[in-house]
């Protein structure tokens, strides 16, 4: 299995390095939220909890403030390829990024990815590493709603189980069609590391389990972690793939409970209040389901044959009435009342290289996304074609 972190770093490292060379320009404040607005170049932008700022990667982490047009930069060794996660109080972010860079001829290798705290409001803020893993490929991270915990993907270094995967060869542009530029290596299963943000203690969860855990999120009460779980055959060299399900890990009892057990979950997203999740199931573009995070009230939501959902693009509206997703290069919405889907934008030319597409403002009326030309755009949503009861107030 080729990880996003490894593959994207090879394919797009030169592009991101180029963006990092330029300082953020003063683009001004957002004065009319009903109009599109470009805040600069970069990728994987996310709104702050209050919607007054946007954080994104541009070489390092940058934070744009809508009211003033000012951009703050947090020094990091290099960029990350997953969106940073805001702390609940907006005082900083969490991000997975390399801790150092090494030059090998004309190639720069970004090494030692760790979970970092990215503080804001300081004179010269600098990322602080929270983990000290060796040979652990960290990727996506999440912060609990109460601000106590962070969870991040990592290798189960002490697991007795391994799988075969393709690793890109440094200095060679990989080709997924021909498999040129790759070598086959064996790696331990991937799991989740829980970090106590008060004490700094960390623990790799479910390390002895013969399962591959990823894409962690917290429940709304911060008592459990929701995650995608792969079991069965994980070897990329074998055509028989694993089963994909969704489960939860209770922090108090350290028990695992299944939420979805179909074996065909392609992607999921948790609602803003952390009580429900939506997921797509393999087998059809309209196979969208919603279920409570305790596994109850599983419901199929029909979209529309005209607007099939792209995987990896599900996103809840803040009020929990709709799920937004990407269809081609437009954003669509579908109500949980099964009233069908509807378009919310025109052609946006969304950049999709990082497996992440757009984020919804807390007011539900606009999104932020990275365009294919490298610019980050704040875009108002057109709710006129949605049923009146689904429109944000």
314-339 per-position pLDDT tens digit: 999 999 999 999 988 999 999 998 88
Give the pLDDT confidence score for residue 22 in this predicted structure. Answer: 34
Give the pLDDT confidence score for residue 164 in this predicted structure. Answer: 85
In whole angstroms, how large is the CA radius of gyration of the chain?
20
How many Cβ atoms are within 10 Å of 266's Cβ, its own excluded? 16
SS (H, E, C) 181-226: CEEEEEEECEEEEEEECCCCCEEEECCCCCCEEEEEEECCCCCEEE
Residue 332 sits at φ, ψ, to 5 deg, of -120, 165
Total number of residues shown for the chain: 393
Give the pLDDT confidence score for residue 360 in this predicted structure. Answer: 97
Note the pTM of the prediction, 2 decimals: 0.85
CA 272 to CA 320: how far, in whole Å?
7
Most confident of 83-97, 136-150, 274-288, 365-379: 365-379
Instruction: Tell me what the pLDDT averaged over the chain comes to.
Output: 84
Tracing tokens 């503080």 back to the chain, one arrives at 119
SS (H, E, C) the chain: CCCHHHHHHHHHHHHHHHHHCCCCCCCCCCCCCCCCEEEEECEEEEECCCCCEEEEEECEEEEEECCCCCEEEEECCCCCCCCCEECCCCCEEEEEEEEEEEEECCEEEEEEEEEEEEECCCCCCECEECCCCCCCCCCCEEECCCCCEEEEEEECCCCCCEEEEEEECCCCCCECCCCECEEEEEEECEEEEEEECCCCCEEEECCCCCCEEEEEEECCCCCEEEEEEEECCCCCCCCCCCEEEEEEEECCCCCEEEEECCCEEEEEEECCCCCEEEEEECCCCCCEEEEECCCCCCEEECCCCCCCCCCCCCEECCCCCEEEEEECCEEEEEECCCCCEEECCCCCCECCCCCCCEEECCCCCEEEEEECCCEEEEEECCHHHCCHHHCCC
User: Quick check: 304 pLDDT over 50?
Assistant: yes
**CA nearest 89: which of 58, 53, 114, 38?**
53
CA 62 to CA 73: how far, in whole Å?
4
Give the pLDDT confidence score for residue 225 in this predicted structure. Answer: 97
Give the pLDDT confidence score for residue 283 in this predicted structure. Answer: 66
Kindly state the average pLDDT of the residues 38-62. 93
CA 288 to CA 282: how far, in whole Å?
10
Residue 12: pLDDT band (50, 70, 90) is very low
Give the pLDDT confidence score for residue 113 in this predicted structure. Answer: 82
Domains of the chain by start residue, with CATH: 266-393 (2.120.10.30)
């Amino acid at each position: 299995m080729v990880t996003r972190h490894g593959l994207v770093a090879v394919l797009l490292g030169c592009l991101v390095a180029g963006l990092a060379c330029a300082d953020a320009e003063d683009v001004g404040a957002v004065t009319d939220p009903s109009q599109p607005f470009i805040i600069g170049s970069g990728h994987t932008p996310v709104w702050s909890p209050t919607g007054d700022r946007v954080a994104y990667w541009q070489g390092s982490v940058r934070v744009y403030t809508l009211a003033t047009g000012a951009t703050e930069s947090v020094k990091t060794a290099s960029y990350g390829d997953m969106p940073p996660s805001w702390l609940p109080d907006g005082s900083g972010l969490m991000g997975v990024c390399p801790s150092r860079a090494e030059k090998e001829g004309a190639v720069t290798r970004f090494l030692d990815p760790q979970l970092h705290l990215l503080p804001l409001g300081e004179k010269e803020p600098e990322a602080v590493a929270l983990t000290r893993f060796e040979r652990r490929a960290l990727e996506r991270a999440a912060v609990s709603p109460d601000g106590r915990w962070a969870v991040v993907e990592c290798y189960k270094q002490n697991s007795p189980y391994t799988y075969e995967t393709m690793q890109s060869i440094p200095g060679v542009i990989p080709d997924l069609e021909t498999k040129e530029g790759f070598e086959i290596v064996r790696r331990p299963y991937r799991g989740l590391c829980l970090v106590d943000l008060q004490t700094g203690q960390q623990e790799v969860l479910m390390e002895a389990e013969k399962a591959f855990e990823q894409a962690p999120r917290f429940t709304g009460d911060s008592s459990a972690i929701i995650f995608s779980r792969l079991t069965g055959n994980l070897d990329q060299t074998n055509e028989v793939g694993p089963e994909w399900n969704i489960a939860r890990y209770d922090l108090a009892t350290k028990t695992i409970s299944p939420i979805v057990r179909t074996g065909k979950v392609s992607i999921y997203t948790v609602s803003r209040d952390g009580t429900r999740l939506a997921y797509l199931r393999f087998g059809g573009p309209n196979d969208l389901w919603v279920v409570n995070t305790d596994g109850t009230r599983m419901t199929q939501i029909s979209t529309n044959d005209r607007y099939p959902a792209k995987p990896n693009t599900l996103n809840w509206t803040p009020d929990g009435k709709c799920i937004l997703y990407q269809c081609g290069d437009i954003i669509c919405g579908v109500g949980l009342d099964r009233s069908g889907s509807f378009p919310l934008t025109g052609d946006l030319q969304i950049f999709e290289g990082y497996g992440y597409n757009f984020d919804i403002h807390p007011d539900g009326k606009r999104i932020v996304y990275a365009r294919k030309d490298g610019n980050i755009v704040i875009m108002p949503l057109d709710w006129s074609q949605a049923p009146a009861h689904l429109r944000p107030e």
